[in-house]
Amino acid sequence: MHRVYLDNNATTPVLPEILAAMQPYFGERFGNASSIHHHGQEARAAVERARQSVAMFLGCATSEIVFTSGGTEADNLAIFGVVQPGDHVISSQIEHHAVLNSCRQLEGSDCEVTYVPVGGQGRVDPDDIRRALRPSTRLITIMMANNETGVLQPLEEIGRIAAEAGVCFHADAVQAAGKVPIDVRRIGCHLLSISGHKMHAPQGVGALYVKKGTGLRPMVHGGRHERARRAGTENVPGIVALGRAAELSRQALTRGENERMAALRDRLEQTILSQIEGTNLNGSAAPRVPNTSSIAFDCIEGEALVIALDLKGLAVSTGAACSSGAIEPSHVLTAMGLSAEQARGSLRFSLGKQNTGDDVDFALSLVPPTVARLRELSPVYNRTAPSPRLSRRM
Ligand code: PLP
């Protein structure tokens, strides 16, 4: 069966160049990067080369990169590494659960958290952050790009607010890395998370940028790996892959490959919006990463549409992969003012570097007839009078 994968915000396939770069570190170059003999030094050199690549990718010094097991650990290290009992934290209602549930955990240990809202386009208003500041505010943690809508947040403005207030600023850039340029100095953040498997490296590796001078308590205790910021023998093949992914992403950004992806994504979403009545693009007027479309389909159960499309070979998603199977509508879309039904009827299409125009054609051959068939079965869909455009808070 022909299969097309348009769920790259959940995870991306490992690119052949990246697999080739990491493969020797499973075999002949198997050393422990802490060993002083040849094998160890070979592994250490590879880890440090990868650190250099990731540092160049983010615009920082190599000493400011801490390798982790992924985005979730990087987010946790950023948050629990700086916040202490009695502190106040500012976050938003649309963060990934790696941040949201860390904040909930803090609330159980004598910390207070303000979750700023978003407008109808899914953007945080920096003034809401400014207003939420308190003398006890220790950390602002706001994502760079949302995983469900792809909407980019005004991080540079938030960075300026954090600097004026002398507050630590963490950015979860897991869904932005490889899709838009990232420059930690321009953003003005102290901490920034990325994850390998969202940028065509494997699952289980990530990194946290930690600005020089930022006091960070380690979460994992053990040896003095990663300058005593993250204990544990390094995942050398994973780190090598992340380094290669950072190099390829940097090249792709300078070669304009992301414009190619934006053109494919725009054709996909424009055709769906024009061919299918009762559809709306979530975050349509906001700046977005070039690979993501979140589309609300009136009178459609998103899970049913995902399953129907999967049976025909197209992989898409209703939103965050970790909430699949959950009955709760997306907290991101409801925070943007969508009703529970509109949120449940929303599908996320997310492209990767491997996708082609043929993949978009395949998706476009399946989505309109599948939506039409599901609507025919829907007791609430009135085919003679399509329901009005979704109205939402701006
Ligand atoms: N932050 C965002 C915005 C994400 O989309 C994800 C994963 O979907 C994570 C953090 C967690 O990253 P990881 O899967 O590497 O733990």
Tell whether ligand 1 has an atom less than 6 A from the beta carbon of residue 289.
no
Would you say the CB of residue 195 lies under 6 angstroms from ligand 1?
Answer: yes
The DSSP bridge partners found for residue 41 are: none
**Distances in whole angstroms, Cα of residue 109 to Cα of each of 78, 104, 137, 146:** 17, 9, 15, 27
- pLDDT, position 388: 47
pLDDT one-digit tens code per residue, 120-150: 999 999 999 999 999 999 999 999 999 999 9
In which band, very low, low, confident or very high, does the pLDDT at 379 lie, cut at 50, 70 and 90? confident
Q: What pLDDT digit, counting tens, does each position of 27-50 carry?
A: 999 999 999 999 999 999 999 999
Tell me, what's the pLDDT at 386?
52
* Pairing mode of beta strands 279-281, 314-315: unpaired
Ligand 1, atom 12, lies closest to the CA of 71
Tens digit of pLDDT for each residue in 88-110? 999 999 999 999 999 999 999 89
Q: Distance between CA atoms of 221 and 238, rounded to whole angstroms?
A: 21
Which residues on adjacent β-strands are paired with residue 194?
Answer: 207
What pLDDT is stored for residue 389 in this prediction? Answer: 45
Give the model's confidence band at 394: pLDDT under 50 very low, under 70 low, under 90 confident, else very high: very low
Q: Which residues contact 369 (CB under 8 A, 6 or more apart)?
A: none
When pLDDT is cut at 50, 70 and 90, the band that residue 267 belongs to is very high
pTM of structure:
0.95
Residue 382 pLDDT exceeds 90: no
Say how many C-beta atoms besides its own lie within 10 A of residue 253's C-beta: 17
Percent of the chain with pLDDT over 70: 94
Distance 81 CA to ligand 1 centre (A): 18
The DSSP result for 120-148, as a single string, is TTS-B-HHHHHHH--TTEEEEEEESB-TT
251, burial (CB in 10 Å: exposed 0-12, middle 13-18, buried 19+): exposed
Contact 9, 292 (CB under 8 A): yes
- 168 catalytically annotated: no
Question: Which tokens belong to 96?
Answer: 């990934």
What atom in ligand 1 is closest to the CA of residue 320?
8
Statement: residue 322 has pLDDT above 80: no
